Amino acid sequence: MIVKVIKFFLLVSIIFFTSCVGTSYLKNDEKLLYKQKIKGNENISSDRIDDLFKQKANKRIILLPISPYVAFYEIGKKYYDKDEIEKEKNELKEKLTEKIEKAREEEKFNRATRLERKLNKKNQKYTTKLEEGNLLMRWGEPLAVYDSGATENTKNQIQLFLESKGYFDATVEYDLQFRGIKDESVVVTYRIEEGSAYLIDTVFYNTGGDQVMKSVLVGARRNSLIEAGDRYDQSKLTEERERIENIMKDKGYYTFSRQFVEYNVYRDPDTTSMALEILINKPQGAKSHKRYKLDKVNFTTDVNTQLGGAKREVERFNSIDYSYYKRSYKKKILDQRVFLRPGEYYSLEKTLDTQRQLANLDMFRFVNIKYDTAGSKFVANIFTSPLEKFQLSNELGVNVNVTFGLPGPFYNVSLKNRNPFGGIEIMELSGRLGFEGVANLSDQTQVTTATEARANLSFTFPTFLFPLGTTLKSRFALLNPKTKTGLGFNYTKRPEYERGNLNGTFGYSWQNKKRWIFDFTLADINLIESELDSTFSSTLGEESRFGRQLSRTFQPSFVSSSSINISKNFNNYGQANSRASYIKFFLETGGNLLNINAVSENINSDSLAYFQFLKASVDYRTYIPYGKESTLAYRLNVGVAKPYGKFSEGVLPYEKYYFAGGSNSIRAWAPRRLGPGSFVETDEDGNFIYNLEKPGEIILEASLEVRRNLVQFLDGALFIDAGNVWSFSENDDPGSSFQLDRFYKEIAIGTGFGLRVDFSFLILRFDFAFKLYDPARDEGERWTINEWNLGTRSNYGPALNIGIGYPF
């Protein structure tokens, strides 16, 4: 019986393998483009040249010479009838159009609207089918039948590209290799000889005698993208043309455009050197380019608003004329976000800054700035349209960031009130109620229900609430300054405990020109009250080592701190299609007032637990796309938290500890159950116990993930995670402290694979992780790959992580 099963499996595998290779779909005299290679290029990357291929080989599964995408496409093609789809589309359109007209005749306008939406939705589906094929065809791709003409065109494109990069003496040839039993697969190898690159040894401007324009260009030369000694590069010339246009427009030349910039190249026939002339052509019918100076600035604050036959009032403030039907906004605040003034030269940068900073107020539906050159005046007109004063948003969803347990529903609601006091501030009242299945704090094998509820009232002011002069506040307006204050209450209920937190915050945020974002919380005050289940309270009392720390964190507590968050998103991390990265620095200091004797001497620590601590962390993430469908992403997270002072008693507030393990951490370990260090509790039989969460004062995490698109809506990933948490001192927990001579031996390692389902509006993530290196075991026995199994309750079985979005 077993032999028959094996034979059947091999037969199916051979059929599947043959169909996925794609050669079975070839017609007479056709060959499959199996692969294209590039050789000989030393300075130009192969990825840049890959984009020039006029024909692409079929995508294949990593490390295997098969392409299931071709099989998907060919199977779908068998059941695809374009004429039949067109017929169905027309019949449906005719049927629904008739129903829509009938509904309108009967004055059933709501029904007509619903039918119109249905018609549009169905039309879109049929259009997609007609243009891209059925579902299997869209999942797959057509067979890459080798085209010799495309290969020749690719060769010519590579030649032109190399010349555009300064390799004018480069040569490109290609050769073909045939593979397979019948030589039905083709491998194309493009062989490149780059030769010597041509260098620019001289760069000079020619403005036709316009000395003012020449002085502007020379003054901005330090930021030029073209310098003497650079390799000739046409893309750099294009970018420099755009830079010159922006410089001119920033210095008053409103009508200047990049079309006026011309390059003349003078090559030395005996060397690979060249001189580059940057010529600024004059406008037709004029001796020079006109430099525009603002005569007037108008600001209409309520475009698209009508109040019967009323006329707008006009009010001048700081040389700007404001027009409105109703006085709604403080001119003093608006004026700080407008950087255009009569008597100054036109500036593209100030125009964009004004548009950006007015939009940052979250008061206007749109912000447009138009310039009027009619007559002899140059006038700037700023138009804004108000957003709705009240905005109610609701969100109903499911918590799915779990490793062990069950998802649960949540409901978010938020009411935003814009400009409640006329100072362009925003008041927001928000709330959340959620339920989730979680691992029991005292028994990880049990799933319990956690309830989370919170309410928060916040105010955001579009300036620094600080005694600053008007001039300084106007300068700071370029930083998008905000003052944030809020009052909230958080409530958590689990079978082990109930925990309430009354929270008040006050702080500032801003962003500099280099797009660094600063979030400074001057005061974060928390009054925490907990009520413990009798069994859990008893468990804490029995914990002679870890229990003392945990029990103190559940006492009535007063936690105050100040913190600063500094972050930057390089190249639109998370959305860009090119290399991008993100970095965040965090620093927090708690219990600052307790350092003052007059305060500390009057504190009664018997009624409330007080804490003094320092906390800092750095989180760095980057991803690097390669090929067309793959991305390499990695993350490094390092943090320390240290209690100090007599009030802390060597303990941090529970929320200030670091934890490792879970869907956004080391995925092979259950949430917050890894570490600290090599310490682990065991039962009488020596089995590891992960009953309690494992807090640490030091954290080190790193993750590496390779992501690849499998089909249209489905991505796959292979990942490896490493990290752990440690304490500064061991106390009675051997192996829990951070020691330079051994910490690297205590870095846990997990690995696995995952699937990401892209629903366009969210990404649902499934990750399966295995423990690869477990520091809780004795040295020499920590590699665990030989103990992997599929038992869901086993310490070395797979851990399933479900989450929303990418882990980093």
Can you tell me whether residue 260 is helix, strand or coil? Answer: helix
Tens digit of each residue's pLDDT (9 = 90 or more) over 361-395? 999 999 999 999 988 899 999 999 999 999 999 88
Tens digit of each residue's pLDDT (9 = 90 or more) over 285-321? 888 999 999 999 999 999 988 766 788 899 999 999 9
Tell me the C-alpha distance between 119 and 101, whole Å.
13
Q: Please spell the DSSP secondary structure of 262-326, one letter per residue.
A: EEEEEE-TTSSEEEEEEEEPPPTT-SS----B--EEEEES-TT---TT---EEEEETTEEEEESS
Please tell me which residue, 60 or 503, carries the higher pLDDT value: 503
Question: Which range, 106-110, 394-398, 560-564, is most confident?
Answer: 560-564
Q: What is the CATH number of domain 32-53+144-196?
A: 3.10.20.310
Q: Measured between alpha carbons, how far apart are the two ends of the chain, in Å?
A: 48
Tell me the C-alpha distance between 601 and 597, whole Å.
6
Q: How much is the average pLDDT of 564-584?
A: 87
Tell me the C-alpha distance between 748 and 776, whole Å.
9
Q: Is the pLDDT of residue 60 over 60?
A: yes
Phi-psi domain of 281 (left: phi exceeds 0; alpha: psi -120 through 50; beta: other): beta
CATH superfamily for domain 296-386: membrane protein fhac (3.10.20.310)
Q: Is the pLDDT of residue 700 over 90?
A: yes
Q: Are 777 and 784 in contact (CB under 8 A)?
A: yes
Can you tell me whether residue 252 is helix, strand or coil? Answer: coil
In whole angstroms, how far apart are CA 620 and each of 415, 702, 748?
Answer: 34, 10, 19
Report the pLDDT value the prediction gives residue 386, as an integer from 0 to 100: 93
Report the pLDDT value the prediction gives residue 597, as an integer from 0 to 100: 79
Tell me the C-alpha distance between 580 and 522, whole Å.
31
User: Considering the chain, what is the average pLDDT of its residues?
Assistant: 87
Tens digit of each residue's pLDDT (9 = 90 or more) over 63-103? 566 778 888 888 888 889 999 999 999 999 999 999 999 99
Q: How much is the average pLDDT of 674-687?
A: 82
Full-model pTM: 0.81
Q: Is the pLDDT of residue 445 over 90?
A: no
Q: Which two tokens stand for residue 580?
A: 């991008």
Q: What is the CATH number of domain 614-808?
A: 2.40.160.50
In whole angstroms, how far apart are CA 586 and each of 292, 423, 807?
Answer: 46, 31, 20
Residue 40, phi then psi, degrees to nearest 5? 100, -20
Q: Is the pLDDT of residue 9 over 50?
A: no
Please tell me which residue, 180 or 644, carries the higher pLDDT value: 644
Fold of 199-280: Ubiquitin-like (UB roll) (3.10.20)
Report the pLDDT value the prediction gives residue 8, as an integer from 0 to 100: 42
Q: Is the dihedral of CA 744, 745, 747, 749 positive or negative?
A: positive
Sequence-distant (6+) residues with CB within 8 A of 319 are 297, 341, 342
Tens digit of each residue's pLDDT (9 = 90 or more) over 327-336? 889 999 999 9
Side-chain-side CA neighbours of residue 410 (13 Å): 21
